Amino acid sequence: MLGAMIGDLAGSVYEVEEINYWFQHKKPRPYEERMKIMDPKTPLFLDTSIFTDDTAWTLAIYDAVVNGDCDYENYLKEYGKKELEKGLDKFGRGRFSPASTRWIKGDYQGESYGNGAAMRISPIGFIFDSFEQIKEQACLASIPSHNHEEAIKSAEGVAIAIYLLRIGMPKRQVEDYIKLNYYSMNYELEDLRRNYTFTSKASESVPQAMFCFFHSNSFEDAIRTAISIGGDTDTIASITGALAESYYGIPEQIKESIKNDLDEDTYLLLKDKYFTQKEYKIKKDNVDGQHD
């Protein structure tokens, strides 16, 4: 789950760059610009990196499972309202998309086909221990805001892949399983890096995120590869990061490098699972967010 948050944090700045470039030029950000993240000398996190709605709703799902008897809708809305109370993020954007904001404030069932269900689903894959449970809980965690078959399918596929990876199934076998049951993922990495464009549709972003994981060789390489294809980089890197955590684990230096970026409530929620050192500088109101 922390892998999803790390991917979100790393990808946040590039999402803004992708959107701005598209609006100005009506074409994908240049290949050379996208490829800079693949240079190991390029920092994974920048001073302008932020946690977005991907992180907020991932935490909501985790909290709902461990503390809230899987009351997903209430926890998603509670976390969403806390985010909205912070006002605009540091890029001057709303914390969520207009549709998600209406859902948080309202009482209707969301019918989104976006990637917002898959981006938050990783706790389901890490906590539950059978296909039946994971499929059921992935559906229950999706439908309050993303009651569309493509959104549910994407969340289930990500959660199942995390489960299979963490119980030790070889990466190539998991890839074959996903290809057979969820997405063909017939992509070429270089083509994505040159031509992929921004979309938050689940069917056009979640398989790309999974593809990036399956073509990685380490946790950090997975995050960098996800960002290098452009598009909805915070969400793509978040999904890739969750898969990478389940297979590679998270390097301690990366964990420690983001620890003090967590606000106090987030740190306390995660510390027993992820953090063993006592040193921690409380940083208030640092879970920034945006759309999907």
Any domain includes 104: yes
The verdict on residue 28 lying in a domain is yes
3-state secondary structure of 69: coil
Q: What share of the chain is helix, strand, coil (3-state, %, to 5)?
A: 65, 0, 35
Q: pLDDT tens, 113-146? A: 999 999 999 999 999 999 999 999 999 999 999 9
pLDDT at 292: 52
Above 50 in pLDDT, residue 283? no
198 within some domain: yes
- Note whether 116 and 292 are within 8 A (CB): yes
**227 and 14 Cβ atoms separated by less than 8 Å:** yes
**Residue 20 belongs to some domain of the structure:** yes
Q: What secondary structure, in 3-state letters, does 264-287 show?
A: HHHHHHHHHHHCCCCCCCCCCCCC
Rounded distance between C-alpha atoms, residue 100 and residue 35, angstroms: 32
Q: Is the pLDDT of residue 99 over 70?
A: yes
* Sign for the pseudo-dihedral over CA of 70, 73, 74, 80: positive
- Dihedral sign computed on CA atoms, order 106, 123, 59, 6: negative
Helix, strand or coil, per DSSP, at residue 153: helix
Question: Is residue 292, in this structure, part of any structural domain at all?
Answer: no
The CATH number of residue 270's host domain is: 1.10.4080.10
Most confident of 7-11, 252-256, 264-268: 7-11
Find, among 290, 266, 220, the residue nearest to 39 by Cα.
220
Q: Assess if residue 184 is contained within a domain.
A: yes
- pLDDT given at position 108: 72
CB 233 within 8 A of CB 22: no
Number of domains making up the chain: 1
Mean pLDDT taken over the chain: 93
Q: Are 289 and 51 in contact (CB under 8 A)?
A: yes
Distance from chain centroid for Cα 278: 27
Residue 63 lies in a domain: yes
The confidence band for 171, taking pLDDT boundaries of 50, 70 and 90, is very high
pLDDT value at residue 277: 56
Q: Which domain holds residue 186?
A: 2-38+47-274
Task: Report the half-sphere exposure of 194 (CA within 13 A, side-chain side).
Answer: 5
* Residue whose pair of structure tokens reads 């929620």 in the numeric block: 269
Of 137, 93, 27, nearest in space to 289 by CA: 93
Residue 153 lies in a domain: yes
Task: Give pLDDT, residue 285.
Answer: 44
230 membership: H or E segment, kind and range: none
